[in-house]
Amino acid sequence: MDVGFGSLRLPHPVMTASGCFAYGQQFAAFMDLGRLAGLSTKGISPAPRQGNPLPRICETASGMINSIGLENVGTEVFLAEKLPYLADVGFSVWVNFFGEDMDSYVECARRLEAGRDRGIDVLEMNISCPNIKKGGIEFGTVPEVAHELTRRCLEVTQIPIVVKLTPNAPDVVGMAQAVHEAGAMGVSLINTLTAMAIDVRTRKPRIATMYGGLSGPAVKPVALRMVHQIATALPELPISGMGGIMSGEDALEFIMAGARALQVGTGNFAQPDIALRVLDELETLLAELGIEAVEDVVNCITRLPNEPAWQPTRPEN
């Protein structure tokens, strides 16, 4: 079940996703955290954030919309109070981080460098969240800007950076190419799709900020398509795939599409130990299909005869 992801070697592909698993410790009563390959933390910013006003979550058909607003404790509290517990668990710790402008992204990466020898394996740079008003849209949709941001963050830390991409970009392959050329170790995708819901009785949106991010099984076909597009165009770039993973079969689909690591997200809200169920089901399914190693089926889906090859755009250096 072990799999390589850039400079990392994971015991298996199954992790939990940022924003859906708090700081990990909250789930310890429901599961053996040590069985996970790792987790991606709540998004961390240089200073603490209170997040968006209520209501900021609503259920939808086969998923949910959220507009949490990236509420978090900030780098200082995370390093002092959250990281020591995660480091003791013994799994791979990916710290999701973000800023409101390029300088604050760089400052956040610089501060988190202090955790390099204290348990942090990866900085997962979130350039894709649709529910903050500053920064994210441009960083997540313009390859040249993403390239520059990745390069600058890598200048202030020796921790590998994995860039979390948005499905709302017009050219997700071009975005992956841009951050790859800037030095990112890999990419994570997909984040949520921009969405809304309306209460017809009150004539008001169900989310206070009007729009939020759609996640869950509803986005899985989109996520699979984008993972496969990037894996086809950039087979050397490790991908952490997510978007509606609720079963071992879902997990194997992502692996076959090209993902080397998986992040279970929205399912945690309904079933706190779902990631371990996905892991067990994946192991059983691999045995049933006679697949001896996960890496044997990473990106095993071949292009259809008439499907054109992808031509990623390249940013100017």
What residues are labeled active site?
129
Q: Which of 227, 229, 277, 230 has the alpha carbon at shortest distance from 32?
A: 277
Region for 309 from its dihedrals, namely left if φ exceeds 0, alpha if ψ lies in -120 to 50, beta otherwise: beta
Distance CA 246, CA 123 (A): 25
Do the Cβ atoms of 211 and 69 come closer than 8 Å?
Answer: no
Do the Cβ atoms of 85 and 115 come closer than 8 Å?
Answer: no
Contacts of residue 113, Cβ cutoff 8 Å, sequence gap at least 6: 156, 157, 158, 159
In terms of C-beta density within 10 A (0-12 exposed, 13-18 middle, 19 or more buried), how is residue 297 classed?
Answer: middle
Helices 248-257 and 274-288, axial angle in degrees (round to 10)? 70
Do the Cβ atoms of 66 and 215 come closer than 8 Å?
Answer: yes
Do the Cβ atoms of 254 and 265 come closer than 8 Å?
Answer: no
Contacts of residue 11, Cβ cutoff 8 Å, sequence gap at least 6: 1, 2, 37
Distance CA 198, CA 209 (A): 12
Distance CA 171, CA 279 (A): 32
Across 190-265, where does the E strand assignment appear? 193-195, 198-199, 204-205, 212-215, 239-242, 261-264
Distance CA 229, CA 244 (A): 18
Contacts of residue 163, Cβ cutoff 8 Å, sequence gap at least 6: 124, 125, 127, 146, 150, 179, 184, 186, 187, 188
